[in-house]
Chain A
């Protein structure tokens, strides 16, 4: 029991928690931006898969790491464009299109992977991002290694939250995005194209999701596996709800969730095999459902979420 508590005070635990949180933070911000503009993006799981592959493969093929991140973002934006074209001007069901984009993005990724690497049995490795210690800060006990000795992509994840929050709440663009998710007619009445705002938001959001996927292959691990996203995208959707569509709260949710995930892995080692390991692996998913149930009742979701908009409609 004591051991179980001690884990919480070790630096390695928090380092792992922040590392696990990083891809979730990217993808959660991506989903949050889409939903704030009024579009539920269920393509997230597939877009993360595509991003994971695109970033990794760019580096594998000789590109540098940041080029890989950029390529991943572009790949995500392309799938975002597909999703947005079908759901925004055409107003198709966001549920069905989202699932379709997930199926397409992941199968296309696997197809290209097999095409590009027909022979391999074990996935080839790349040299991933290395931790970058921030002088001074990284030597603070526990917090230092956890927050200030991570890879550059983790720092980028935290920066993404700050930028997202700033844009949404402090800029004219953010005003338009939020209004498009609340009442698109208000946006159009002010001479702004709802279609433009929503499509842009979905593309940027999808790019972030893809970078979240790329974090896994370029920072957390160093190669690409099939099924490697493993439901993380769906968990991010739950995190957006849990965070009440607010970047700060969603960040907190992602870290809490990741801490729990890191904790269950360590508990698993402690339990010595008495409890089947699957029970621990289930916990993140169970936890996500519980989180949804807890907040769903009092969630104030964007009023126009999932409602397509046609010009001139009120």
Chain B
């Protein structure tokens, strides 16, 4: 068997690949549904209805998509430059910590100043957190996959320490949770009385900005060049290590915004279950989008829909909601295979 490169297919065909990957995913996971003694059709129908069947469901899906857009963008940016940031989870929590530190009354500022300030500070913290592994990679040749993964555990323990120490809510009845952010530090709801908040709008802006950076700017060009062929990029005079640092800053900052948006827009305080693995799901989101920043929005909504829909489905159909995680992981693997097939043709001799 051998792989031969082939010309890039037209855009229309390119868009078929995620569709094919999702179809394959449904086919594979329907075996599990059958194993659970349910009918795949009714289960997938229930998932779809739970994700988008009612206004409540659709808004819930968008709410759930918000952190995924941020982490998906963070991963897309990093993977473009082949900086394997698997630590979006940690960066997300650091963003949440900063939001609590600055947003619980420490700064008596009006909303229009306080919120941007918190956002910047959160981004800076997330950026610095990823800068560490990036420096270890460029200076010492330490694989950033392992360091970012290990940092996830370290940061979660650090957050746990804060929540049982300095950031502990005195009125929290002993639970490891922080105080709530003040009203000025809260992102307003987009529709009164619904959970969807302005974090979603910010995530859309972030996607647009990242798209412009990747497509139109010198930095985006440098990041892509470094990611595709670091040796050639370096030969052509691109400062590879500096580009990787900038990538780390951007990626870490984006992931931290997920934490900010969850705390400030949705939860109001920081707990140890702020993220049910948004950092890891961000990898799937980014891959499903083929690392395209605008595609991230669509794939984040899709992945969020699976999670939200599966929750609703499992209440009625009795199939464990972990089916959502299985679907998402399967989609990641089928998607990378589909991308390969779009670039290479397989010859069997």
Asked if B315 CB lies within 8 Å of chain A CBs, one says no
Cross-chain contact B161 with A96 (CB below 8 angstroms):
no
Task: Say how far A257's CB is from chain B's closest CB, in angstroms.
Answer: 13
Within the assembled complex, what's the spacing in Å between the Cα atoms of A84 and B321? 28
Task: Find chain B residues with CB under 8 A from A96 CB.
Answer: 79, 283, 287, 332, 336
Q: A110: CB under 8 A from chain B?
A: yes
A98 CA to B84 CA, complexed, in Å: 12
Query: How many residues of chain B are within 8 Å of chain A by beta carbon?
Result: 48
Docked-complex contact A115 and B161, CB < 8 angstroms: no
CB <8 Å contact, B2 and A311: yes
A42 touches B332 (CB 8 A): no
B200 at the interface (CB under 8 A from A): no
Contact B136 A293 (CB under 8 A): yes
Known: A90-B337, A97-B333, A111-B325. A296 touches B32 (CB 8 A): no
| CB-CB under 8 A for A100 and B336, given A276-B165, A292-B143, A296-B141 | yes
Residues 308-329 of chain B: 1 if any A CB is under 8 Å from the residue's CB, otherwise 0? 0000000000111011011011
The answer to whether B32 and A278 have CB atoms under 8 Å apart is: no
Stretch with Cβ within 8 A of B (4 or more), from A64-72, A213-221, A280-288: A280-288
Chain B contacts of A293 at CB under 8 A? 136, 140, 142
**Residue B3 interfacial (CB < 8 Å):** yes
Q: Are B86 and A296 in contact (CB under 8 A)?
A: no
Q: Which segment of A7-15, A101-109, A122-130 sits at the interface?
A: A101-109
Measured CB to CB, the residues of B under 8 A from A are: 1-3, 32, 35-36, 79, 84, 86, 136, 140-143, 145-147, 149-154, 157-158, 160-161, 164-165, 280, 283-284, 287, 318-320, 322-323, 325-326, 328-330, 332-333, 336-337, 340
**A100-B333, A108-B326, A114-B322 known; A285 vs B154 contact (CB < 8 Å):** yes
**Contacts of A299 on B, CB cut-off 8 Å?**
141
Contacts of A92 in B (CB 8 A): 336-337, 340
Among A137-145, A153-161, A165-173, A228-236, the stretch in contact with B: A228-236
A86 at the interface (CB under 8 A from B): yes
- Contact across chains for A312 and B329 when beta carbons are under 8 A apart: no
Q: Contacting B158 at CB < 8 Å: which of A42, A97, A282?
A: A282
The answer to whether A278 and B323 have CB atoms under 8 Å apart is no
What 15 additional pairs, Cβ within 8 angstroms, besides A100-B336, A111-B323?
Answer: A93-B336, A96-B287, A99-B86, A99-B283, A107-B328, A111-B322, A111-B325, A114-B322, A118-B320, A231-B153, A234-B153, A278-B158, A292-B136, A292-B143, A296-B140
A231 x B86 contact (CB < 8 A)? no
In the complex, the 10 A-B pairs of residues with the closest C-beta atoms, listed nearest first = A107-B325, A114-B320, A103-B329, A104-B329, A111-B322, A278-B161, A278-B157, A100-B332, A285-B150, A100-B333
Q: List residues of A whose CB falls within 8 A of some B CB.
A: 42, 82, 86, 89-93, 95-97, 99-101, 103-104, 106-108, 110-111, 114-115, 118, 230-231, 234-235, 237-238, 241, 276, 278-279, 281-282, 285-286, 288-289, 292-293, 296-297, 299, 310-312
10 residue pairs from A and B, CB less than 8 Å apart: A92-B337, A95-B145, A99-B280, A100-B329, A100-B333, A110-B322, A118-B318, A231-B152, A238-B146, A297-B140
